[in-house]
Amino acid sequence: MTTQAAQKEQPLLSVQNLSIKIKMDNGTMNAVDGVDFEIYKGKTLGLVGESGCGKSLTSRSIISINPKECETTGEIVYNSDSEAWLNQLNLLSLKPAGKQIRSIRGRKIAMIFQEPMTAFSPMYTIGNQMMEAIRIHRTRNKKEAKKIALEMLAKVGISDQEKRFDQYPHEFSGGMRQRAMISMALSCNPEILIADEPTTALDVTIQAQVLELMKKLQSEFGMAILLVTHDLGIIAQMCDEVAVMYLGKIVEQAPVKEIFANPKHPYTKGLMKSMPRLGGGKTKRLDSIEGSVPIPIDMPPMCGFYDRCKDRIEGVCNMNTVPKTRISDQHSVRCFLYSDQREGESQ
């Protein structure tokens, strides 16, 4: 299996015990709480979860672009062999707006966003905004930068690039905008691409095209992708490994086939059941997960999914912090239902 080979090699990026606290008027919110994951070269890790579970904060903390109110702790170790100073570098130790992290942003770790209309500024041409990154990281020469930008536009399937280059975002269609966004992100050959809900704002047909494009470019450029989404269909199509997030914690993590075939955590199971399936029958309604997500302010030590969980064990799940349990080499879960199966590495 491919992931077994990956297990032996060094991760390109390793997130360890990442926590993000946000100070609010009524207390401190533990938006992200002890998240660990690894990203490998050429592989795609999917970060899945519902709105507000902290997946965007987690992905953005990698390049330190979260708002100032976020207090981030833990380690994000970048391990690139391309430059000496990038070897075993803890990205969180860099100054948030400093020169060093800025030379990594866009060049080594690039990002694409959910809403390509608002992610581009309406005031400048697509070309202007694409050239910005290229001229910071690749070449000062404007002509050369334009050449690179035009090549990238061609790569993402935008025709008539010369004309498109001088157009404004509002003259692009949604799908075209996201293509331009991808070409902008990839214009500096990043090693890691963070895609924060890249297709959520697009039509389903365009979604498929954009995802195909991302896959194609991944095999061409060999970058790693961290794909943040709430859509399990996209996960199934794109990812090698999946981390399911709930209320700031990764509740289950496994290779993509394993998680679809053998989901363990009640939340993951619920997600699977809420997904339409071929041959599921017309009359059967889709399952939904009852209840809503609690707000993680001053939470007692308990499982965040307790209130909504069908398999909860009273006196256990609502009294203790849930440890991580390893089901197999690559499959881990945070749930008391499995904590006796193997020795859990509690934190």
**Where does this chain bind other proteins (CB under 8 A)?**
60, 63, 65, 97, 102-107, 110-111, 113, 115, 118-125, 129, 132-133, 136-137, 140-142, 166, 168, 170-171, 184
Distance CA 212, CA 206 (A): 10
Q: How far is the CB of 94 from other proteins (least distance, A)?
A: 12
Distances (CA, A) of 252 to 36, 154, 271: 11, 39, 12
Distance CA 91, CA 287 (A): 41
Q: Which is nearer to other proteins, 120 or 336 (CB)?
A: 120
Q: Which is nearer to other proteins, 63 or 223 (CB)?
A: 63
Q: How far is the CB of 22 from other proteins (least distance, A)?
A: 15
Q: Which is nearer to other proteins, 131 or 317 (CB)?
A: 131
21-29: long-range contacts (C-beta < 8 A, 24 or more apart)? 21/70, 21/71, 21/73, 22/69, 22/70, 22/71, 23/69, 23/71, 24/297, 26/297, 27/297, 27/298, 28/297, 28/298, 29/295, 29/296, 29/297
Q: Which is nearer to other proteins, 102 or 326 (CB)?
A: 102
Q: How far is the CB of 111 from other proteins (least distance, A)?
A: 4
Q: Which is nearer to other proteins, 138 or 230 (CB)?
A: 138
Q: How far is the CB of 277 from other proteins (least distance, A)?
A: 34
Q: Which is nearer to other proteins, 141 or 262 (CB)?
A: 141
Start-to-end CA distance of the chain, whole Å, equals 30
Q: How far is the CB of 98 from other proteins (least distance, A)?
A: 10
Q: How far is the CB of 317 from other proteins (least distance, A)?
A: 37
Q: Which is nearer to other proteins, 5 or 123 (CB)?
A: 123
Q: How far is the CB of 152 from other proteins (least distance, A)?
A: 13
Distance CA 234, CA 210 (A): 11
Q: How far is the CB of 37 from other proteins (least distance, A)?
A: 20
Q: Which is nearer to other proteins, 97 or 297 (CB)?
A: 97
- The count of other CB atoms within 10 Å of the CB of residue 3 is 17
Q: Which is nearer to other proteins, 151 or 171 (CB)?
A: 171
Q: How far is the CB of 227 from other proteins (least distance, A)?
A: 16
The CA R_g of the chain, rounded to the nearest whole Å, is 21
